[in-house]
């Protein structure tokens, strides 16, 4: 009986030790989620809009709600992905350097058009539980294009 108890004790101790690895895993060991680029793009677009609103204050009233929408999209995508946003602030891109309102709007329209296409492609390739969010993001980006006219 003592021998059986010792084996159970040793076996019971071995199981938790091998299971400890489950708790030590970090997010870097998981493969990248297909939505990571879209989340990063939403964060970058937000930064571009904020930089443009600072560079051209006359456009701030128009650009700030779009920047806010991109922030919300990035946050929702991060929730679905299950990973926090990378630390550090994204680069603002070329838009911050341009001060002509028409040039700024043109650059933002180009970035927004590319973003809309990326969101639409992601939506078409996504499983059903992700398609609604991605479709909403693609639709929002299409409305951003109209707001930049």
Give the pLDDT score at 17: 47
Map out the domains of the chain as residue ranges. Answer: 35-147
Give the pLDDT score at 29: 72
pTM to 2 decimals?
A: 0.75
For residue 9, give both structure tokens. 């004790």
Query: What residues contact 59, with CB distance under 8 A and at least 6 apart?
Result: 52, 53, 101, 104, 105
Spatial CA neighbour of 44 closest among 132, 147, 115, 97? 115
Mean pLDDT by 10 residues, the chain (149 residues): 46 49 57 93 98 96 98 97 75 58 96 96 93 96 95
Give the pLDDT score at 5: 47
Give the pLDDT score at 9: 45
Give the pLDDT score at 100: 92
């Amino acid at each position: 009986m003592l021998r059986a108890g010792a084996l159970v004790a040793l076996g019971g101790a071995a199981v938790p030790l091998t299971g400890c690895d489950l708790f030590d895993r970090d997010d870097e060991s998981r493969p990248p989620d297909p939505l990571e680029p879209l989340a990063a793009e939403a964060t970058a677009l937000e930064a571009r809009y904020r930089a443009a609103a600072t560079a051209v204050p006359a456009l701030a009233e128009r650009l700030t709600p779009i920047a806010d929408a991109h922030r919300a999209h990035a946050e929702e995508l991060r929730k679905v992905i299950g990973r926090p946003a990378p630390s550090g602030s994204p680069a603002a891109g070329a838009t911050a350097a341009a001060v002509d309102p028409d040039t700024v709007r043109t650059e933002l329209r180009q970035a927004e058009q590319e973003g809309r296409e990326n969101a639409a492609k992601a939506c078409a390739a996504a499983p059903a539980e992700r398609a609604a969010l991605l479709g909403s993001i693609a639709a929002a980006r299409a409305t951003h294009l109209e707001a930049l006219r």
